[in-house]
Copies of this chain bind each other. A is one copy, B any other.
Amino acid sequence: MPHDADVEKVVIVGSGPAGWTAAIYAARANLRPLVFAGRPKSSPTTILPGGQLMMTTEVENYPGFPHGVTGPKLMAYFEQQAVRFGTRIVTDNGLEPDVSNADDGHSYSYQDCARVDFSRRPFVVSSEDGTEFRAHSVIIATGATANWIGLPNEQRLARMGGGVSACAVCDGALPVFRDKVLAVVGGGDSAVEEATYLTKFASKVCMIHRRDQLRASKIMAQRAMSNPKIEILWNQVVVDVLGENMITGIRLKDTISGAESDLPVGGLFAAIGHTPATAFLEGQLELDAKKYIKLRDPYRSTTSVEGVFAAGDCVDSVYRQAITAAGMGCKAALDAERWLADKGIE
The copy count of this chain in the complex is 2
Is the beta-carbon distance between B319 and A324 smaller than 8 angstroms? no
Query: Is A21 an interface residue, CB under 8 A from the partner?
Result: yes
CB within 8 Å of B: which of A77-115?
A: 77-78, 80-81, 84-85
Query: Is A140 an interface residue, CB under 8 A from the partner?
Result: no
Is the beta-carbon distance between B64 and A74 smaller than 8 angstroms? yes
Is the beta-carbon distance between B334 and A327 smaller than 8 angstroms? no
**Assembly CA distance A227 to B326 (angstroms):** 32
The contact size tier of chain A is 35 or more
Is the beta-carbon distance between B330 and A318 smaller than 8 angstroms? no
Query: Is A331 an interface residue, CB under 8 A from the partner?
Result: yes
Set B28, B172, B337: member contacting A60, Cβ < 8 A: B28
The DSSP consensus for interface residues of chain A is helix
16 new A-B contacts, CB < 8 A, other than A29-B197, A63-B77, A63-B326, are A21-B63, A25-B169, A28-B60, A29-B169, A29-B173, A30-B173, A64-B69, A65-B77, A196-B341, A197-B341, A200-B346, A319-B331, A323-B326, A323-B329, A323-B330, A327-B328
Is the beta-carbon distance between B66 and A64 smaller than 8 angstroms? no
| For the complex of A and B, 10 pairs with smallest distance between CB atoms | A327-B327, A298-B299, A66-B80, A66-B81, A30-B200, A28-B173, A324-B327, A21-B63, A323-B330, A298-B298
Is the beta-carbon distance between B84 and A193 smaller than 8 angstroms? no
Is the beta-carbon distance between A323 and B21 smaller than 8 angstroms? yes
Could you list 29 examples of A-B contacts with CB < 8 Å?
Answer: A17-B63, A20-B63, A21-B63, A21-B323, A24-B63, A25-B61, A25-B321, A28-B60, A28-B172, A28-B173, A30-B200, A30-B201, A63-B326, A64-B64, A64-B77, A66-B81, A85-B173, A169-B334, A193-B341, A199-B346, A295-B299, A297-B298, A299-B299, A300-B318, A318-B334, A319-B334, A323-B330, A324-B331, A326-B327
**Assembly CA distance A346 to B197 (angstroms):** 10
For the complex formed, measure the closest distance between the CB of A223 and the CB atoms of chain B, giving whole angstroms: 7
Is the beta-carbon distance between A64 and B85 smaller than 8 angstroms? no
Chain B residues near A17 (CB-CB < 8 A): 63
Query: Is A338 an interface residue, CB under 8 A from the partner?
Result: yes
Chain B residues near A298 (CB-CB < 8 A): 297-299
Set B66, B319, B341: member contacting A84, Cβ < 8 A: B66
Set B64, B66, B324: member contacting A62, Cβ < 8 A: B64
**Assembly CA distance A28 to B177 (angstroms):** 13
User: Would you give the 0/1 interface string for A14-53, flagging 1 where the beta carbon is closer than 8 Å to chain B?
Assistant: 0001001100110011100000000000000000000000
